[in-house]
Amino acid sequence: MTTTPSHAPRYVSHDDGEVHAVMGDPMRFIMTAAHSGGGYAFAELEVRPDNGAPPHIHHNEEEAFYILEGTITATVDGTKHRLNKGDFIHMPRGAVRSFTNPTEANSRLLILHCPGSASEFYIGMGKLPYPPDLNDVKALADQHGIEMVL
């Protein structure tokens, strides 16, 4: 049986990748949907103190966080989870989720989206002025199967 790769191999060094400012924080895409044939997106996000993402629902993607540094408080369907270095959380599609950095130091985390369709939303977020108008965020989210829960 012969298989054909769906996309080319990709190497990304520790200081490479596409960087987009999402809600004012740098999000470095290691893999986007375009790189993975749509299969997944993988990014590193640095979150400033008291910053994060408001409540929203990914209708198309599973989402997971792995904390590299600092602390993130993730709320999933009303349950708060305090995540520290080395902690992991999976958020299924359809779950209401939000997160924030509750500390006075930056936090860093890896984010996996499967499939990778959410990467186009975050790249679009990086093109919005900061702070973004929430109507612009909602319009962009609607285009990518993400529902803002305001």
Q: What is the mean pLDDT of each run of 10 residues along the chain (150 residues)?
A: 72 92 95 94 98 97 98 98 98 98 98 96 94 93 95
Give me the pLDDT at residue 4, please: 64
Q: pTM of the entire structure?
A: 0.93
The C-alpha angle with vertex 46 and arms to 85 and 34, in degrees rounded to 5, equals 110
What number does CATH give the domain 18-139? 2.60.120.10
User: pLDDT over 70 for what percent of the chain?
Assistant: 96
Task: Extract the tokens encoding 47.
Answer: 């979150």
- Locate the domains of the chain by residue range: 18-139
DSSP at 124: H
Pairing of strands 88-91, 62-69: antiparallel
What are the tens digits of pLDDT across the range 55-73?
A: 999 999 999 999 999 999 9
The predicted pLDDT at position 71 comes to 98
